[in-house]
Chain A
Amino acid sequence: MTATLLFVQALNGIQFGLILFLIAAGLTLVFGVMDFINLAHGVQYMVGAYLVAAFSAWTGSFGWGLLLALPSALAFGLLVEVLVFRHLYDRDHLDQVLATFGVILFLNQGVKFVWGAAPLSVPVPELLSGSVEIASGLLYPVYRLAIIAAGLVVAALLYVLVNHTRVGMLVRAGASNASMVSALGVNIQRLFMVVFGFGAMLAGFAGAMVAPILSVEPGMGDNILILAFVVIVIGGIGSIRGAFLAALLIGLVDTVGRSFAPNLLRLFLDPAAASQTGRAIAPMLIYIFMAAVLFFRPSGLFPVKR
């Protein structure tokens, strides 16, 4: 019983971790390359979810909805970059924090304005609905497996893109030393736009993927943004590999911790106290974990070499 539960929770953790990775990947690149702290990255995730909700209601199919939502999320990211973020790159972090905070306020209200305050629901695509038996007597929803598969595919694509293409090379160079890349004749402004739009699209993709299993509502990106920050801080800012590993770690620690912390504490405490403290400690686990990592390695587990 406990072993199968652990297995299911681990799968949930990996799925959550991969979603976190999709968000954190953009965030870490935007920060690494442009030295830009973007609080509004969480709302890109929310916008992705809303776009897929709107487009799949319009076309009647999740697949088409997703296909339309991705370029729209990209276009939206570029629009915000041109309107707001571009003017903030040479400001200090404090200004960036505040201005992107303003973008959050605007967009959280904006989706309420357009789609109303009530949560939207997106039906799970028919092809991927239902459950499969992954071990004897253990059913797991197909859609969650699909999220895991999609996350892994995107991670692999990202790996190839960053490590084996010219754009990826420029991005890596930018993360190490942006002004040197600029001095060598690369149009750094355009590189920024590419990175930014791509990051926005990845976050939008994450939002679109979770739309069928979560409710799509204003402010849904706010808390996951903080988790994405935790991920990139643990992974080392600017490092895709770090973000990937840290996202999986955080996903697992959070999901497994929530269901097992009470059980573990029962070894030391009486059941009532154990479940009480367990529930109190579980949501704090990842932050304690982050504090521990930063205490020993202040620049994260996989810092980018500068």
Chain B
Amino acid sequence: MTELAETPSAPMPSLTTRLEIVPIVLFAAFAAAPLLAVFSGAEGYVLSLLTRVMIFGIAAMALDLILGYGALVSFGHAAFLGIGGYAVGILASHGSEDLLVQIPVALAASAAFALVTGAISLRTKGVYFIMITLAFGQMLYFLATSLATYGGDDGMTLSSRSLVAGTDILKNDFALYWACLLCLFGAYVFSRSIVASRFGRVLRGTRENAIRMEAIGYQPLRFQLAAYVLSGMMAGLAGCLLANQAEFVSPSFMTWQRSGELIFMVVLGGLGSLHGAIIGAAAFLLLEEFLPEILHGLSFFLAEGTRAHLAENWKMVFGPLLILIVLFVRGGIMGLLRRPHHG
């Protein structure tokens, strides 16, 4: 059957407790990383890379909530990153630089966009859903490119990071790191509680068989729409953080390729486990960051010119790697972690 149906809807209790190790280790690693960053000597670089990892972790987890638990392949989720980013950028350019204003506005805007586009998209099924979410994402992308007041194609550079309750604490890279970790943890706990709730069970039930859910008296569409809105809001939050991390907002936040990357992160980590999406985001971004160097290192037997050429064209390795992962690694990284327990 399809991979979506294969993900266990109710894992065995013993398995669940054993798997809890993974998120604990994951968050412990994120908490310990700043210490390592101090010792690594390249503090700024390590912190900014890991901050990006956590931000995309939030976005990928948001997508996993509807993709892994609802089998809704949204191909326009980068749009919410853009909404969050532009909420920060546009508000800042009008003088509202406080994150305590920006985040609620970003969440409200994401929710409104998700509600409208979700209500239309969810009328369709399967591949139509993929394509219509893709098209809505493109729509917002083109809207952003034509906002001449706010930088148009080129995007806008933020004059500084957002304030928090009037203080410029986020100027400090460590503070931003901890803020992102807090958001990631909050989003994770929130998503876990959603998934474990009755709401989450209805969502999973709909994934398996919408008609049966309807027959026992639920209205699957409402649950799917609510999940879509929540997911969009979480991705919008990630967008706010991303704008602060990059100190820059541009339409490139929401290209459809970015949406594709988000899907890949979720699938790479393993569908339907939430922390899998975070691991997938980390694996994706680290691979993207280090693949040129890895290629350069691995091709030690070639001439220096060829090695540089290979490192420069790392995407020619990345693409096939992606295809191979899809073809041969079922269940993603979480699937690999899970497999020994089954044996």
Contact = CB atoms under 8 A, between A and B. Distances in A.
Contacts of B128: 233, 237, 294, 298-299
Given A94-B267, A233-B132, A291-B132, A101 B260 contact: yes
Interface residues of B, number: 46
A279 B319 contact: no
Nearest to A94: B73
A295 B127 contact: no
A284 B135 CA distance: 10
Contacts of B117: 291
A183 B101 CA distance: 62
Contact of B323 (A84, A110, A113, A223): A84
Contacts, number: 138
B135 A233 contact: yes
A59 B323 CA distance: 36
Interface in B282-340: 313, 315-316, 318-323, 326-327
Contacts of B320: 102, 106
Given A99-B326, A101-B322, A94 B260 contact: no
A290 B76 CA distance: 15
A229 B135 CA distance: 8
Given A280-B147, A294-B123, A99 B327 contact: yes
A306 interface: no
B260 A233 contact: no
B139 A298 contact: no
Contacts of A283: 142-143, 145-146
Nearest to B71: A94
A280 B147 CA distance: 6
A109 B319 contact: yes
Contact of B132 (A93, A237, A294): A294
A115 interface: no
B124 interface: yes
B2 interface: yes
A291 B147 CA distance: 22
Given A31-B127, A287-B136, A287-B139, A93 B73 contact: yes
Interface string A32-50: 0000010100000000000
Interface residues on A, range: 35 or more
B37 interface: no
A279 B257 CA distance: 24
A139 interface: no
A295 B3 contact: no
Contacts of A88: 327
A273 to B, nearest CB: 12
B4 interface: yes
B264 A98 contact: yes
A92 B127 contact: no
Given A95-B3, A283-B143, A287-B136, A104 B73 contact: no
Contacts of A113: 313, 316
Interface of A: 31, 37, 39, 84, 87-88, 91-95, 97-99, 101-110, 112-113, 222-223, 226, 229-230, 232-233, 237, 276, 279-280, 282-284, 287-288, 290-291, 294-295, 298-299
Given A222-B257, A233-B128, A295-B120, 4 more contacts: A101-B260, A103-B319, A226-B134, A279-B146
Interface of B: 2-4, 67, 73, 75, 117, 120, 123-128, 130-132, 134-136, 138-139, 142-143, 145-149, 256-257, 260, 263-264, 267, 313, 315-316, 318-323, 326-327
